[in-house]
């Protein structure tokens, strides 16, 4: 079937929730994707920070094959060995004590919000349920998580929104603390705001806010859905900040391409979940957990996280050079590891998105004016130089 037919069928049968580029992918290896148009694409989006090990990773393919020959799903009413084994990996590599598994990032954040409220209900005899999130944040698309998202553009159409979220200004400790009163149960932050334009929060701000929360028994939760699993050059982004959060949420890359959501908490808080207080039919299935463990082991032992730091520094350095040469067009370059944003003037980001695609490079856009580079973590100099070369060509052509 040719691509025009796929486009026509998609338009006829699918809800119009995505603006899709006219290509489908028929194969992939490492950071390359084979397009239905016969072209090879260098992937600097990785399925939006999902394919951290790229495509056709041998360990993932083997794990999928092996897990498919055992029960794919069993209920959480029974013991699930691969689930406990995956939880053990997370606990041994983080400051958290207990895991809950769901199927997506939004679900992981829903679980975090519910746990924070349950802990507060268990321990305080008055209404203490509010969650502080930050302006510019993104936490998901369910009713609770779009409400948690601190961007006005997401707060349309779906009234009434959930009660109990307060939006504070990032990187301003005094202002953030001003919005915290006795009704606040938790603070939830992304340490690098992804959808908000790849904004790296200041270390000083986060450390002070974390300490304030600790002193006041306010849960400090970090949304690691995009920043986790090596993306920023550490396994979790909180490890850049000298803090030990009470809760973290992970998703996207964590399943090696399969859907998963993970909510990790310290014991003190995790104890508030008891049978019947939270659940998920598919969460923690043997199939997904087996593959997620294979992904975890390969990520930790394969040099990917170290490479994310080295290549991230290299790309940011080269982009800063272009910023110096094209100051009217490149307004800012920011990021951590391989989570990189380039703020461009006018509609140049959207123009580059299209230009890159037409020249065999897949990138993303955050907001309307920030180009997003989030490649698989094993990219090399050759791939990075190709992306930079195209970007330079684009900027030069705009003189």
Ligand X SMILES: Cc1ncc(COP(=O)(O)O)c(C=O)c1O
Which positions touch ligand X (CB under 6 A)? 104-106, 109, 138-140, 190, 194-195, 223, 225-226, 251
Alpha helices per DSSP H over the chain = 3-13, 46-49, 58-68, 81-92, 105-123, 143-148, 173-178, 203-215, 267-270, 286-301, 304-325, 348-358, 381-397
Smallest gap, in angstroms, from Cβ of residue 257 to ligand X?
13
Smallest gap, in angstroms, from Cβ of residue 40 to ligand X?
26
Torsion sign across C-alpha atoms 269, 275, 277, 279: positive
Could you give the 3-state DSSP secondary structure of residue 341?
strand
Q: Is the CB of residue 373 less than 8 Å from the CB of residue 342?
A: yes
243 vs 251, which CB is nearer to ligand X? 251
Smallest gap, in angstroms, from Cβ of residue 228 to ligand X?
9
DSSP state letter for 134: E
- The Cα diameter of the chain in Å comes to 64
Burial of 80 (0-12, 13-18, 19+ CB in 10 A): buried
Smallest gap, in angstroms, from Cβ of residue 71 to ligand X?
25
111 vs 322, which CB is nearer to ligand X? 111
Nearest one of 285, 158, 252 to 147, comparing CA atoms:
158
Q: Which residues contact 15 (CB under 8 A, 6 or more apart)?
A: none
Chain position whose Cβ is nearest to ligand X? 105
194 vs 341, which CB is nearer to ligand X? 194
57 vs 104, which CB is nearer to ligand X? 104
CA neighbours within 13 Å on the CB side: how many for 354? 5
Q: Is the CB of residue 36 less than 8 Å from the CB of residue 49?
A: no
194 vs 337, which CB is nearer to ligand X? 194
H or E element at residue 339: strand 339-344
Residue showing tokens 């553009």? 153
35 vs 337, which CB is nearer to ligand X? 337
Q: Which residues contact 222 (CB under 8 A, 6 or more apart)?
A: 188, 189, 190, 191, 236, 237, 238, 245, 247, 248, 249
Smallest gap, in angstroms, from Cβ of residue 190 to ligand X?
5
Q: How far apart are the first and last CA of the chain?
A: 41
243 vs 384, which CB is nearer to ligand X? 243
Smallest gap, in angstroms, from Cβ of residue 66 to ligand X?
25
Smallest gap, in angstroms, from Cβ of residue 105 to ligand X?
2
Smallest gap, in angstroms, from Cβ of residue 108 to ligand X?
8
221 vs 348, which CB is nearer to ligand X? 221
195 vs 343, which CB is nearer to ligand X? 195
Smallest gap, in angstroms, from Cβ of residue 212 to ligand X?
22
What is the spatial distance between Cα 255 and Cα 253, in angstroms, rounded to a whole number? 6
């Amino acid at each position: 079937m040719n691509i025009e037919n796929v486009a026509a069928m998609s338009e006829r049968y699918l809800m119009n929730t995505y603006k899709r580029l006219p290509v489908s992918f028929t194969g992939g290896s490492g950071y390359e994707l084979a397009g239905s148009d016969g072209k090879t694409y260098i992937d600097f989006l990785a399925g939006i920070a999902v394919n951290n090990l790229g495509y056709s990773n041998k360990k993932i393919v083997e794990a999928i094959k092996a897990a498919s020959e055992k029960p794919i799903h069993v209920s959480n009413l029974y013991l699930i060995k691969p689930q406990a084994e995956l939880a053990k990996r997370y606990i041994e590599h983080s400051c958290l004590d207990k895991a809950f598994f769901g199927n997506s990032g939004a679900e992981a954040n829903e679980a975090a919000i519910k746990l924070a409220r349950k802990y507060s209900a268990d321990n305080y005899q008055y209404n203490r349920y509010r969650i502080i999130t930050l302006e510019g944040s993104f936490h998901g698309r369910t009713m609770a998580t779009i409400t948690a998202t601190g961007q006005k553009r997401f707060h349309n159409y779906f009234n009434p929104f959930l009660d109990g979220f307060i939006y504070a200004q990032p990187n301003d400790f005094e202002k953030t603390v001003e919005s915290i009163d006795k009704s606040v149960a938790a603070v939830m932050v992304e340490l690098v705001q992804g959808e908000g334009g790849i904004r790296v929060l200041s270390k000083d701000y986060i450390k002070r806010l974390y300490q304030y929360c600790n002193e006041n028994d306010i849960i400090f939760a970090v949304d690691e859905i995009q920043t986790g699993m090596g993306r920023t050059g550490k396994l979790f982004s909180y490890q850049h900040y000298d803090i030990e959060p009470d809760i973290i949420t992970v998703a996207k890359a964590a399943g090696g391409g399969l859907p998963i959501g993970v909510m990790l908490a310290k014991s003190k808080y995790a104890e508030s979940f008891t049978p019947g207080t939270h659940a998920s039919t598919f969460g923690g299935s043997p199939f997904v957990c087996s593959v997620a463990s294979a992904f975890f082991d390969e990520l930790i032992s394969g040099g990917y996280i170290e490479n994310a730091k080295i290549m991230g520094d290299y790309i940011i350095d080269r982009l800063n050079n272009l910023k110096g040469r094209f100051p009217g067009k490149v307004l800012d370059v920011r990021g951590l590891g391989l989570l990189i944003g380039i703020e461009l003037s006018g509609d140049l980001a959207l123009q580059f998105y299209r230009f890159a695609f037409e020249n065999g490079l897949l990138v993303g856009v955050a907001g309307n004016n920030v180009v997003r580079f989030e490649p698989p973590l094993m990219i090399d100099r050759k791939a990075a130089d190709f992306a930079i070369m195209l970007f330079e060509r684009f900027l030069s052509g705009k003189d």
